[in-house]
A = this chain, B = another copy of it.
Amino acid sequence: MREAYHVELDQLAQKLAAMSAQVADAMEQATQALLGADLELAERVISDDAKVDEARADCEEQAYALLALQAPVATDLRTVLAAIHAAESLERMGDLALHVAKAARRRHPDPVLPEQVRPYFSEMGKIAVRLARQAEQVIRTKDVEAARSLETDDDQVDDIHRHLFTVIMDRDWPHGVAAAVDITLLGRFYERYADHAVSVARRVVFVVTGKMPGYGTDDI
Chain A residues within 8 Å of B, Cβ to Cβ: 53, 64, 67-68, 71, 73-74, 77-78, 81, 84-85, 88, 95, 98-99, 102, 165, 168-169, 173, 176-178, 180-181, 184-185, 188, 215, 217-218, 220
In the complex, how many angstroms separate the beta carbon of A151 from the nearest chain B beta carbon? 19
A-B pairs, top 6 by smallest CB distance, nearest first, are A71-B71, A184-B184, A177-B180, A169-B178, A68-B73, A181-B184
Q: In the complex, which residues of chain B have a beta carbon less than 8 angstroms from the beta carbon of A169?
A: 177-178, 181
Assembled-state Cα–Cα distance A81/B218 (Å)? 25
Assembled-state Cα–Cα distance A111/B190 (Å)? 28
Is the beta-carbon distance between A215 and B53 smaller than 8 angstroms? yes
10 residue pairs of the A-B complex, CB under 8 angstroms, read A64-B81, A67-B77, A81-B84, A84-B84, A99-B218, A168-B181, A169-B178, A173-B177, A176-B177, A177-B177
In the complex, how many angstroms separate the beta carbon of A129 from the nearest chain B beta carbon? 21
Q: In the complex, which residues of chain B have a beta carbon less than 8 angstroms from the beta carbon of A220?
A: 99, 102, 185
Which residue in chain B gives the minimum CB-CB distance to A217? B95
Which residue in chain B gives the minimum CB-CB distance to A74? B68
In the complex, how many angstroms separate the beta carbon of A182 from the nearest chain B beta carbon? 9
Is the beta-carbon distance between A77 and B95 smaller than 8 angstroms? no
Contact of A184 (CB < 8 Å), options: B67, B74, B84, B185 = B185
Which residue in chain B gives the minimum CB-CB distance to A173? B177
Q: In the complex, which residues of chain B have a beta carbon less than 8 angstroms from the beta carbon of A185?
A: 184, 188, 220
Is the beta-carbon distance between A95 and B184 smaller than 8 angstroms? no
In the complex, how many angstroms separate the beta carbon of A219 from the nearest chain B beta carbon? 9
Q: In the complex, which residues of chain B have a beta carbon less than 8 angstroms from the beta carbon of A184?
A: 181, 184-185
Q: In the complex, which residues of chain B have a beta carbon less than 8 angstroms from the beta carbon of A84?
A: 81, 84
Extra contacts, 17 of them, besides A68-B77, A81-B84, A176-B177 (Cβ < 8 A), are A64-B78, A64-B81, A67-B67, A67-B77, A71-B71, A95-B217, A95-B218, A99-B218, A165-B181, A168-B181, A169-B177, A169-B181, A177-B180, A180-B180, A181-B181, A184-B184, A185-B188
Which residue in chain B gives the minimum CB-CB distance to A80? B67
Q: In the complex, which residues of chain B have a beta carbon less than 8 angstroms from the beta carbon of A53?
A: 215
